[in-house]
C-alpha cells in the first residue's frame, strides 16, 4: 500500500518513506528495537516474512502490538498467532451494470482471530482498498474487541469499488453478489460484518436479506449475521452515532487527566463522515467548540466555532465541507496548524505522518479513525508532548453497539436509546480504566498500554483454551 491514502487533504506523499531506512539486515532473535533508520524492527517480522516496507500499514500496526507484547512478556506462540490472520478470503465476481455490460469486482474478507468469539468487523467499500489494508483493519478489530470487552474476535472485509460512482441499482447488485460469494464464510455465530468507510445501513440490509435467502439460518435469526442494519430491520438505536459517541465518552473520561475540560474546549476534526460528524455534534452539545475541519473537498475554519449540526446537513446535501457558509476556506497546512486543545483524525489510515505531526498544534489527539497516525508521526507527537488516545480504545464505540444490536437480534428485543448509551458508556469507561492501569504498570504510552490491556485478555483466553491439538 502506498504511503498516501485516499481522501481528506493528502499527507505529504512518500516523504517519510525517504527518511526511513530499509529494514533489511536486521537481527534474528532477541527483542524489538529501532533499526539504523530509526524505524521499528522486530524478529517476528522476519520469522513470518512480513512486508519489509516500513510504510506498509500491516507492518506498522502489528509492530505497535509487538512492542506491547515484548513489554509484557507475551509468549512467542501468541505473538506469531496474532501477527498473522487466520483466514484471508479474496473473491472476484461479475456484476451487470445498468447499461447491460458486465464488470468484474474484487472483494475481501479477512478473519484475523476468533479466540474470544466470532470474527467481527466492518466492510469497506472503497476504490483503493487492498489486502494489506483489510488485514491491518481485521487485526485492529481483534485488539479493539478484546480491549472493549465484547465477546468477539476480529475480522474485516471490503469491495474494491467507489460506491459514489454507481447507481443504487448497481450497488444493490454488487453488494448482493458479494454476499453470495462470501455467504459460506460468514454467519451469526461465526463471522459478523458491519459498516465501515463507504458502506451504510442500506448495504447492511441487502446483505442480511441476501444471507437470509441463501442460508439455512432462517427467519429473524439470520438478521444477526450483520450489524449496523437500519432500525426498521433489526438495527439498534444509537448504532449510527456509536463510534462518535465512544470517542466523546473516551474524551470525557481521559481529558481531565490532561488538564482539559470538555466545556469550552476547542477541537478540530479531520474527515467529516460518520465518525467525524457525530464526534463534532456530540462534543458541541457538551459545550466544546469546533474551530476547524477538513475532508477531501477542502478545509474550513471559524475561530468563533463551526456549527457541527449545520455542517453535517451541508455535507449531506453537497458531499463535503467545502462551500459551508459558516466558515472560511483555509489551506491544508493552516488546518493542521490551527491551535486547538483536541485534534480528532476521523478519516482514513496513515493520515498523520511526519509533516502533519510537525504542524499539529494541540494537546491531545483522539483517534476516531483506525490507525490514523504512523509510527514516525507518533514519535514526533510524543516529542512535542502531545497525548495520543489510541484508536483501539477511542473508536471502539461502534463495535460495542454492534454487539448490543447482535444481542437484541438474538433475544428479539429492542432497547431504548438511553439504555444503549448507558451500556456503551460503561464499556468505554471500563476500557479507559484498563488502559490507564496498564500505562501505570508498564510505564509506557497510552497506545502501548491499550495493546497490553487487549493482549492480557487474549493471553488468558489462550492459556485456558490451549492450542489444539
Of 135, 156, 289, 459, the active-site residue reads 156
Strand, coil or helix: 171: helix
Contacting ligand GLU (CB under 6 A), which of 158, 238, 244, 398? 398
CB of 383 vs ligand GLU, minimal distance in Å: 29
Contacting ligand GLU (CB under 6 A), which of 61, 227, 274, 293? 227
Partners of 266 in the β-ladder? 289
Please report whether residue 238 would count as binding ligand GLU according to CB under 6 A: no
Please report whether residue 9 would count as binding ligand GLU according to CB under 6 A: no
Please report whether residue 67 would count as binding ligand GLU according to CB under 6 A: no
CA neighbor of 308 nearest in space, from 336, 327, 323: 327
Asked if omega into 469 is within 30° of 0 (cis), the reply is yes
CB of 446 vs ligand GLU, minimal distance in Å: 18
CB 447 within 8 A of CB 378: yes
CB 137 within 8 A of CB 156: yes
Residue 439 is among the residues annotated as catalytic for this protein: no
User: Interface residues for ligand GLU in 295-324 (CB under 6 A)?
Assistant: none
Angstrom distance (rounded) from CA 300 to CA 324: 8
**Binding region for ligand GLU (CB under 6 A) out of 19-27, 120-128, 213-221, 382-390:** 120-128
CB 384 within 8 A of CB 377: no
Please report whether residue 121 would count as binding ligand GLU according to CB under 6 A: yes
Please report whether residue 399 would count as binding ligand GLU according to CB under 6 A: yes
x/- string (CB under 6 A) for ligand GLU, residues 402-421? x-------------------
CB of 415 vs ligand GLU, minimal distance in Å: 16
- Nine-digit cell string for 205: 440490509
- Residue 402's H or E segment, with its range, is helix 397-411
**Other CB atoms within 10 A of residue 97 CB:** 14
Q: Which is nearer to ligand GLU, 228 or 345 (CB)?
A: 228
Chain position whose Cβ is nearest to ligand GLU: 122
Angstrom distance (rounded) from CA 232 to CA 246: 23
Strand pairing category for 298-301 and 266-270: unpaired
Please report whether residue 370 would count as binding ligand GLU according to CB under 6 A: yes
x/- string (CB under 6 A) for ligand GLU, residues 174-203? --------------------x-x-------
**Binding region for ligand GLU (CB under 6 A) out of 46-54, 78-86, 336-344, 397-405:** 397-405
CB 120 within 8 A of CB 399: yes
CB 73 within 8 A of CB 18: no
User: Interface residues for ligand GLU in 376-395 (CB under 6 A)?
Assistant: 395
Q: Which is nearer to ligand GLU, 228 or 375 (CB)?
A: 228
Angstrom distance (rounded) from CA 32 to CA 120: 29
CB of 307 vs ligand GLU, minimal distance in Å: 27
Please report whether residue 56 would count as binding ligand GLU according to CB under 6 A: no
Give the N- to C-terminal CA distance of the chain in Å, as an integer: 36
CB of 334 vs ligand GLU, minimal distance in Å: 30
CA neighbor of 117 nearest in space, from 402, 435, 369: 402
- Nine-digit cell string for 450: 491499550
Q: Which residues bind ligand GLU (CB under 6 A)?
A: 120-122, 194, 196, 227-228, 370, 395, 398-399, 402
Residues identified as active-site = 156
Amino acid at each position: 500500500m502506498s504511503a498516501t491514502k485516499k481522501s481528506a487533504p493528502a499527507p505529504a506523499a512518500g516523504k517519510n518513506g525517504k527518511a526511513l531506512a530499509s529494514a533489511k539486515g536486521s537481527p534474528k532473535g532477541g527483542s524489538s528495537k529501532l533499526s539504523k533508520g530509526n524505524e521499528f524492527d522486530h524478529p517476528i517480522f522476519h520469522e513470518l516474512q512480513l512486508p519489509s516496507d516500513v510504510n506498509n500499514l500491516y507492518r506498522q500496526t502489528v509492530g505497535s502490538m509487538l512492542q506491547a507484547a515484548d513489554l509484557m512478556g507475551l509468549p512467542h506462540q501468541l505473538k506469531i498467532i496474532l501477527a498473522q490472520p487466520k483466514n484471508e478470503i479474496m473473491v472476484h465476481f461479475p456484476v451487470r451494470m445498468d447499461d447491460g455490460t458486465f464488470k468484474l469486482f474484487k472483494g475481501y474478507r479477512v478473519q484475523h482471530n476468533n479466540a474470544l468469539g466470532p470474527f467481527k468487523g466492518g466492510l469497506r467499500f472503497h476504490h483503493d482498498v487492498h489486502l494489506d489494508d483489510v488485514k491491518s483493519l481485521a487485526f485492529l478489530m481483534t485488539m479493539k474487541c478484546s480491549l472493549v470487552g465484547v465477546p468477539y474476535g476480529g475480522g474485516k472485509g471490503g469491495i474494491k469499488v467507489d460506491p459514489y460512482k454507481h447507481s443504487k441499482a448497481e450497488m444493490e447488485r454488487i453488494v448482493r453478489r458479494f454476499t453470495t460469494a462470501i455467504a459460506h464464510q460468514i454467519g451469526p455465530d461465526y463471522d459478523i460484518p458491519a459498516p465501515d468507510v463507504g458502506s451504510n445501513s442500506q448495504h447492511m440490509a441487502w446483505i442480511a436479506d441476501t444471507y437470509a435467502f441463501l442460508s439455512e439460518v432462517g427467519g429473524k435469526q439470520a438478521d444477526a449475521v450483520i450489524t449496523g442494519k437500519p432500525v426498521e430491520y433489526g438495527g439498534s438505536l444509537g448504532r449510527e452515532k456509536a463510534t462518535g459517541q465512544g470517542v466523546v465518552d473516551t474524551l470525557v473520561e481521559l481529558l481531565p487527566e490532561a488538564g482539559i475540560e470538555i466545556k469550552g474546549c476547542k477541537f478540530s476534526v479531520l474527515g467529516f463522515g460518520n465518525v467525524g460528524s457525530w464526534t463534532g455534534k456530540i462534543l458541541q452539545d457538551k459545550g466544546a467548540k469546533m474551530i476547524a475541519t477538513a475532508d477531501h473537498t477542502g478545509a474550513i475554519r471559524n475561530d468563533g466555532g463551526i456549527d457541527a449540526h449545520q455542517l453535517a446537513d451541508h455535507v449531506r446535501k453537497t458531499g463535503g465541507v467545502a462551500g459551508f457558509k459558516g466558515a472560511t476556506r483555509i489551506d491544508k497546512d493552516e488546518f493542521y496548524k490551527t491551535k486547538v486543545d483536541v485534534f480528532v483524525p476521523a478519516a482514513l489510515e496513515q493520515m498523520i505522518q511526519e509533516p502533519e505531526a510537525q504542524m499539529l498544534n494541540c494537546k491531545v489527539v483522539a483517534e476516531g479513525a483506525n490507525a490514523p497516525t504512523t509510527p514516525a508521526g507518533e514519535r514526533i507527537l510524543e516529542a512535542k508532548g502531545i497525548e495520543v488516545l489510541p484508536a483501539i480504545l477511542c473508536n471502539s464505540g461502534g463495535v460495542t453497539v454492534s454487539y448490543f444490536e447482535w444481542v437484541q437480534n438474538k433475544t428479539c428485543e429492542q432497547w431504548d436509546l438511553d439504555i444503549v448509551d448507558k451500556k456503551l458508556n460503561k464499556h468505554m469507561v471500563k476500557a479507559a480504566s484498563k488502559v490507564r492501569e496498564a500505562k501505570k504498570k508498564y510505564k509506557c504510552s497510552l497506545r502501548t498500554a491499550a495493546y497490553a490491556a487487549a493482549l492480557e485478555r487474549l493471553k488468558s483466553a489462550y492459556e485456558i483454551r490451549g492450542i489444539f491439538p
